[in-house]
Amino acid sequence: MRVLVTGGCGYIGSHMVRCLLHAGHDVTIVDDLSAGFADTVPAGVHLAPFDVRDPRVRELLVDREIDSVLHFASRIQVGESMRDPRLYFRDNLAAGITLLEHVLSAGVRRFVLSSTAAVYGYPQYTPIDEAHPTLPINPYGESKLALERVLASYATAYGLSYAALRYFNAAGAWTDEGLGERHDPETHLLPLLIDAALGKRAPMTVFGTDYDTPDGTCVRDYVHVRDLSDAHVAALVYLADGGESGAFNLGTGQGHSVREAIACVERVTGKTVPVSYGERRAGDPPVLVASAARAARVLGWRPSRASLTEIVSDACAWLARQ
């Protein structure tokens, strides 16, 4: 396939680009480099360094005969979305709609959206499947859910085929390819823990120890970024085969608490993680664990790097080199 990857210089997008190349697809990247890194672009891959709203995106789709778009470019910080929601409705929702204008007018028929577990809001049951009510509790989740709804309407009206892939907690790295997590600022648990263990950061603060969970800390479903990439390839193949559009959870189905994550990082690094214990972070649900049964059944996707130890080991190998 001939695939355009927006945000292809970001954390998940850069892994996606390598995964597509390994699977034999032709790749073009659109990334304005506001959060991504041009040094992740493999030799021979065309990088168009502009925003997804840029009219040149339409020309690119036509000129390069793109048949599928994978849309990663977006803002990703829940806290920032609470403080400054217009960034999220403008850069995730409105920009996504403009990108879809380019997609439709260029005649591209397949679209995969990088979506999030944040579309569900507070879990009403666990593990969360796609039938769970979607009641986001922050503008980040709202912006992604709204774009999913736009896609559903466009699928019905214009025959666009789409998959909205709802990631749980993306983590890990692809060290052989020189890829890993680079966020500024970094807010995610595993890189903060690993960097603290390696002495590269201040002690990490555990946000809350009084949750209704087995050890009092929040439980999350960490899924390897390479498994996420594999799921996108499976989704592309599924859509190309005429599969029905829709949303799919991507997670391992295994939950790990913050304390378990700390113990895992200590085992893998052989070092003690300096931590302090603080208040709960606003908006953190106690438990977020996916049922990815639908992705398994429909896409034939199962995570093959599902152990937390493997995810942490890969992330450590990458962060130790930075």
Which residue ranges make up the site for ligand UFG (CB under 6 A)?
76, 78, 116-118, 140, 169, 187-189, 192, 204-207, 218, 220, 258, 281, 284, 288
Q: How far is the CB of 228 from ligand UFG (least distance, A)?
A: 12
Q: Which two structure tokens, joined as six digits, stand for 281?
A: 């972070």
Looking at the Cβ atoms of 8 and 208, the one nearer to ligand UFG is 208
- Cβ neighbourhood burial of 83 (10 Å; 0-12, 13-18, 19+): exposed
Looking at the Cβ atoms of 109 and 201, the one nearer to ligand UFG is 201
d(C-alpha 175, C-alpha 38), whole Å? 17
Whether 69 and 3 have beta carbons less than 8 Å apart is answered as: yes
Whether 136 and 120 have beta carbons less than 8 Å apart is answered as: yes
Looking at the Cβ atoms of 102 and 132, the one nearer to ligand UFG is 132
Q: Which residues are catalytic?
A: 140
What letter would DSSP give residue 171?
A: E
Whether 137 and 123 have beta carbons less than 8 Å apart is answered as: no
Q: How far is the CB of 114 from ligand UFG (least distance, A)?
A: 10
User: How many CB atoms within 10 Å of residue 290?
Assistant: 30
Looking at the Cβ atoms of 98 and 187, the one nearer to ligand UFG is 187
Q: How far is the CB of 90 from ligand UFG (least distance, A)?
A: 18
Q: How far is the CB of 19 from ligand UFG (least distance, A)?
A: 20
Nearest position to ligand UFG, beta carbon? 218
Looking at the Cβ atoms of 28 and 81, the one nearer to ligand UFG is 81
Q: How far is the CB of 71 from ligand UFG (least distance, A)?
A: 15
In the chain, which residue ranges form alpha helices assigned H by DSSP? 11-22, 56-63, 78-83, 85-88, 95-105, 139-158, 189-197, 225-240, 258-269, 293-294, 308-320
Q: Which two structure tokens, joined as six digits, stand for 65?
A: 């005969």
